[in-house]
C-alpha cells in the first residue's frame, strides 16, 4: 500500500485508527464521512480498553458494509461476511501475531495506559503500521470491490 492512502492521511491528521479507516471508505460505501467517523469512534484503542485493534474493527465494519446481510433471510451474505472477516483476521494475525490492541502496542514497548507513550502514535510508531496493514489486507480481501 502506498503511504498516501486516505486512511493514513486521516490518521496522521488526528483521526483515530478506526475513524481513519471508516472515513476513507465511507464515500465508496454510500456513507457520509461524518456518520462513518461517529460510528467508528468508540472502536479506537481496542474499544478504549485495549481489546481488538480499532484498525481491525473498522475493517470489519467496511467488510460488513461491502458485503453484509440484508436481513434475517440473507444467510448467504452473512456467511460471506463471516468468511471475509475470518480471512482478514487470519492475515492480520499472521503478520502481527494478534489483533489485540494492548498486545500490539506492548510488543512495541508502548503501554496503552501511559498517555505520554500514546501521544505520538499518529506520526510514528506501530499504529501507523497497523492502519497501513489493515488497509492493505482489506483491499486485498475485498479484491477490487471498491
Handedness of CA 85, 88, 94, 98 (dihedral sign): negative
Task: Assess if residue 31 is contained within a domain.
Answer: yes
**Which pLDDT value is given to residue 1?**
45
Domain count, the chain: 1
Q: Is 125 left (phi over 0), alpha (psi -120 to 50) or beta?
A: left
d(CA 145, CA 24): 14
Task: Assess if residue 102 is contained within a domain.
Answer: yes
pLDDT in tens, the chain (146 residues): 456 899 999 998 999 999 999 999 999 999 999 999 999 999 999 999 999 999 999 999 999 999 998 899 999 999 999 999 999 999 999 999 999 999 999 998 888 888 877 776 766 678 999 999 999 999 999 886 65
**Which pLDDT value is given to residue 146?**
56
CB of 93 closer than 8 Å to CB of 129: no
Structural domain boundaries, residue 93:
6-142
**What does the pLDDT look like over 35-76, one tens digit per residue?**
999 999 999 999 999 999 999 999 999 999 999 988 999 999
3-state secondary structure the chain: CCCCCHHHHHHHCCCCHHHHHHHHHCHHHCCCHHHHHHHHHHHHHHHHHHCECHHHHHHHHHHHHHHCCCCCCCHHHHHHHHHHHHHHHHHHHHHHCCCEHHHHHHHCCCCCCCHHHHCCCCCCCHHHHHHHHHHHHHHHHHCCCC
Task: Assess if residue 90 is contained within a domain.
Answer: yes
Of 50, 83, 63, 49, give the one whose Cα is nearest residue 21: 63
Per-residue cell: 104: 500490539
Task: Assess if residue 62 is contained within a domain.
Answer: yes
Task: Assess if residue 1 is contained within a domain.
Answer: no
Task: Indicate whether this model's pTM tops 0.85.
Answer: yes
Per-residue cell: 123: 506520526
Amino acid at each position: 500500500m502506498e503511504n498516501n492512502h486516505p486512511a493514513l492521511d486521516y490518521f496522521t491528521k488526528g483521526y483515530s485508527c478506526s475513524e481513519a479507516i471508516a472515513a476513507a471508505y465511507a464515500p465508496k460505501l454510500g456513507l457520509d464521512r461524518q456518520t462513518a467517523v461517529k460510528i467508528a469512534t468508540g472502536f479506537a484503542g481496542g474499544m478504549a480498553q485495549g481489546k481488538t485493534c480499532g484498525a481491525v474493527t473498522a475493517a470489519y465494519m467496511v467488510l460488513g458494509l461491502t458485503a453484509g446481510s440484508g436481513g434475517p433471510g440473507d444467510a448467504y451474505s452473512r456467511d460471506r461476511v463471516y468468511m471475509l472477516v475470518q480471512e482478514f483476521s487470519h492475515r492480520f494475525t499472521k503478520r502481527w501475531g494478534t489483533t489485540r490492541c494492548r498486545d500490539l502496542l506492548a510488543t512495541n514497548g508502548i503501554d496503552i495506559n501511559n498517555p505520554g507513550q500514546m501521544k505520538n502514535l499518529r506520526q510514528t510508531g506501530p499504529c501507523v503500521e497497523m492502519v497501513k496493514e489493515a488497509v492493505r489486507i482489506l483491499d486485498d480481501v475485498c479484491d477490487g470491490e471498491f
